[in-house]
Structure 1
Amino acid sequence: MHIVLISTPIGFLGSGKGGGVELTLNSLVSGLLSLGHSVEVIAPKNSKLFKCNQKAKLYFIEGEDQISWQHQNYNSPVTIPDNSLLAGMLEKGIDIAKQADVILNMSYDWLPIWMTLNVEIPIAHIISMGSQSSVISNLISKVYAKYPYNFAFHSKIQANDYSFIKKPIIIGNGFKLENYNFLDSVNGPLAWVGRVAKEKGLEDAVYVANKLGEKLNVWGFIEDETYAKKIEQSFPKGTINWMGFLTTYELQKELGKCRVLLNTPKWNEAYGNVIVEALACGVPVVAYRRGGPSEIIQHGETGYLAHPDDKETLLSYVKIVKKIRRENCREWVEKNASTDIFANKVVNWLNKVIKEY
């Protein structure tokens, strides 16, 4: 199969601004290449693919980033900036795709979904969020009526946000497991990983660390400086260890040393890449039973799930996390979330999309 892949229009690959989409894209490219498929990636200028993905052709596009729908109101109108990066990526993708089988879009935005109804080339969409926009959800419904196979989701709970989709295609996610080393560090520090933004709920994890009299190691791109400073000022100085944004290889070396990953989202995560990354290193996860993480974490086996926003229960589970056998965590990832498992699901789905046309 010859696949043209459209990247996120929020930050270049490697910047951390694109959140989990950056890792998902690289993992998928790796899996597709290992299965013998041809992949071309269209991404913002300065983007970098993992070294193992050098066989994929990479095209650079310049332009203005889109505003993330996570940071807009549900009823906000569509805004397309002048010199739009997303429009430029789509224009290039459609041109290249004349010689390909399918365009695979990984940006959650209105324009590529609208294009599905206006070009003859198959455009498949990996939807990376729950319903964050009325105008996008309404458009997905319209496209779905004509092309019911053109959308795939990371988790069932995410797909439930789109009630009009009767039989959602669930593809999960996958990771290159040789990039993650198993460590049996039962006495390590507390960890939190993610974009530092309001919807990620970092303050609840800091609350747990403060109650335990420990420091919390925080890895990730600080998207909202004001939010980060507000949290820092709300707790005793030094409670947060700001560790910065690291590459996958560097992150897993540090994450594996931790005894637990705290995951505290205030919104419905579509999947939860950092959870699987932690599990791949043998690190149990204590999280809220909200969004994709609630489908990934096996309560009592690979971590614990607390009711959403229940900080006290979250704290109680961290206190008993040593009961979790760390080998269980790695084994779950090997059986459910490798790049080959993920890529095979995507290929089976794309074959349905192509056949539809």
Structure 2
Amino acid sequence: MIVKSLKLILISTPIGFLGSGRGGGVELTLTSIVKGFLDMGHRVTLVAPKGSILPFDCERAELITVGGIDQPSWQHQDSHASMVIPLEGVLPKLLNVALELSKEADAILNLAYDWLPLWITPLVETKIFHLISMGGVSKVMQNEVNNLSNTHHSRLAFHTYSQASDYELKDDPIILGNGFDLKNYQFKLDNKGPLGWAGRVAPEKGLEDAVQVAAALEDTLVVWGFLEDKEYASKIEASVPSGTIEWRGYLDTEVFQNQLGACRAFINTPKWNEAYGNVVMEAMACGVPVVAYDRGGPSEIVKSGITGWLTTPDDIDELTQSISKIDQINRINCRDWAVETASYQAFCKRIFSWISREINI
């Protein structure tokens, strides 16, 4: 039972409109936060790039869209790149709208992984909280997160300890995990289907390794996700026999989970320190065991030998061998683990507890 109805302003990712798939896991996280806070009786306003949409079960939230040029993702820049805001960039416009709305709100929760919202936090009266969505891919971002930790540590939260370890924080990190509407993911017992992989099709996601595993097993790899780098995808496809990859594209959750649940195993091959690994938990919510590199967030959410197998990062032979052991995993354990650790209701309670401590409600 809540003490007070919270009025929360959410800032969306500035690298693409919600529903485009460009925002990656942040899009799903935002939906879970909106739904969870509405269910708890709070009031939510989401400020997002023009073109954004919310699922029908989030319609009670106020959605304000803002036009502007997408912000370049830090993921695709050199680690020592400087901060750049495009002319007519959407990022400062999102922040301006959120700050204006915050005059009649309790707090802002920012999910934009960028320098400006972090930098401005100590300079305004509004209490801005930041759920950091990536590891330390940029020196500029690492420096700004570290700076804010020194002055306003309680305003920062992370998905996993692995992600938080990329930063030099003043104190122990606030870890929130993530959350999903698990009724949208149907458990499937059948373990005879294809191999699966999902994510933005971009080099840091390591799709080429999963494709090599499928080729070695003379199997098909079903691939879901936003095709961000077409040249990269073409090179991968040319490196293996025709038919090894079955491209499915970016799908909404209902269609995606139905197809995902038919897989006998899900492969996760990030080349960087993944903050959490939404698709890993989505697979387990469908009962699909996960074979993943022991790197980043997935190393904390896959229970090796129980919900799948963790393997040495970048070791394709070990990854391939682990697929052969997938029948040792009870698919019910995968679903149970998702229910135990990653419901959107529990996730939002953790967020509310974090914010409410700071604003004294």
TM-score scaled to structure 2, two decimals? 0.97
Contact kept, 8 Å, 2:99 with 2:126, in 1: the verdict is: yes
Q: Which residue of 2 aligns with 1:131?
A: 136
Aligned residues: 356
- Regions of 4+ moved over 6 Å: none
Q: Does 1:167 align with 2:172?
A: yes
Give the Å deviation of 1:325: 0.4
Q: Which residue of 1 aligns with 2:75?
A: 70
Out of 306, 310, 317, the position equivalent to 1:312 is 317
Cα deviation digits, residues 20-74 of structure 1 (max 9, x gap): 0000100111111111111100011111111111111000100001110011111
Cα deviation digits, residues 283-316 of structure 1 (max 9, x gap): 0000000000000000000000000001111101
Q: Does 1:185 align with 2:219?
A: no
Gaps of 5+ in 1: none
Cα deviation digits, residues 257-308 of structure 1 (max 9, x gap): 1111000000000000000100000000000000000000000000000000
Cα deviation digits, residues 179-199 of structure 1 (max 9, x gap): 111111210110000000000
Q: Which residue of 2 aligns with 1:251?
A: 256
1:309, 1:303 → 2: CA distance?
A: 17
Q: Does 1:91 align with 2:66?
A: no
2:99, 2:164 → 1: CA distance?
A: 27
**Secondary structure of 2:243's aligned partner:** coil
**Secondary structure of 1:59's aligned partner:** strand
- Counterpart residue type for residue 137 of structure 2: Q
Cα deviation digits, residues 162-203 of structure 1 (max 9, x gap): 123421000000000111111112101100000000000001
Q: Does 1:204 align with 2:231?
A: no
1:165, 1:227 → 2: CA distance?
A: 39
Cα deviation digits, residues 322-352 of structure 1 (max 9, x gap): 1100000010011100011100010011112
TM-score scaled to structure 1, two decimals? 0.98
**Secondary structure of 1:116's aligned partner:** helix
**Secondary structure of 2:123's aligned partner:** coil
Q: Which residue of 1 aligns with 2:242?
A: 237
- Counterpart residue type for residue 171 of structure 1: L
After superposition, the CA RMSD in angstroms is 1.0
Give the Å deviation of 1:210: 0.5
- Counterpart residue type for residue 188 of structure 2: L
Out of 34, 37, 40, the position equivalent to 2:39 is 34
2:170, 2:341 → 1: CA distance?
A: 24
Contact kept, 8 Å, 1:61 with 1:88, in 2: the verdict is: yes
Q: Which residue of 1 aligns with 2:121?
A: 116
Q: Does 1:300 align with 2:296?
A: no
Gaps of 5+ in 2: 1-5
Out of 32, 48, 53, the position equivalent to 1:48 is 53
Report sequence identity in percent. 51
Contact kept, 8 Å, 1:191 with 1:218, in 2: the verdict is: yes
Bigger CA drift: 28-37 or 55-64?
A: 28-37
